[in-house]
Amino acid sequence: MIATIYIFAQTPTQGQPELLSTLLPFLFMGVIFYFMLIRPQQKKQKQHQQLLASLKSGDKVVTNGGIHGLISNVKDSTILLRVAENVKIEIDKSAIAGIERSSEVKPASAETKPIS
């Protein structure tokens, strides 16, 4: 009985690596994956959910399929999107990729001289 207690009480020898030194590289890779892959994806998903919650009539949006349109009606899970004159389509809110930014283009000034 004393011999069995003595076997379990021994410290690791050079032939047996410590558990911490074995698992440390895997823990380090897990932390790197979290901060480089998982956390940014969660932030992006949260921002997209906030975007979908803030949609209102009159917003110019772009869908995941590349369709540009103006929101005419917002429902619980769908929106009515006006894509042309008298053309409206109903799509899922999750299909919205983003809101278009209105870019104001300055008109060409009248003072430009023609090339002679």
Would the pTM count as exceeding 0.85? no
**What is the 3-state secondary structure of the chain?**
CHHHHHHHCCCCCCCCCCHHHHHHHHHHHHHHHHHHHHHHHHHHHHHHHHHHHCCCCCCEEEECCCCEEEEEEECCCEEEEEEECCEEEEEEHHHEEEECCCCCCCCCCCCCCCCC
Tell whether 72 is covered by a domain: yes
Q: What is the domain count for the chain? A: 2
40 is a domain residue: yes
Q: Tens-of-pLDDT digits for all 116 residues of the chain?
A: 555 555 555 555 565 678 888 899 999 999 999 999 999 999 999 999 999 999 999 999 999 999 999 999 999 999 999 999 999 999 999 999 999 876 544 455 555 555 65
Question: What CATH number is attached to the domain comprising 71?
Answer: 2.30.30.60
Same domain flag for 64 and 81: yes
Examine residue 111 and state whether it is found in any structural domain, yes or no. Answer: no
Range of the domain at 92: 56-102
Identify whether residues 67 and 49 lie together within a single domain. no
Looking at the structure, tell me whether residues 47 and 68 fall in a common domain.
no
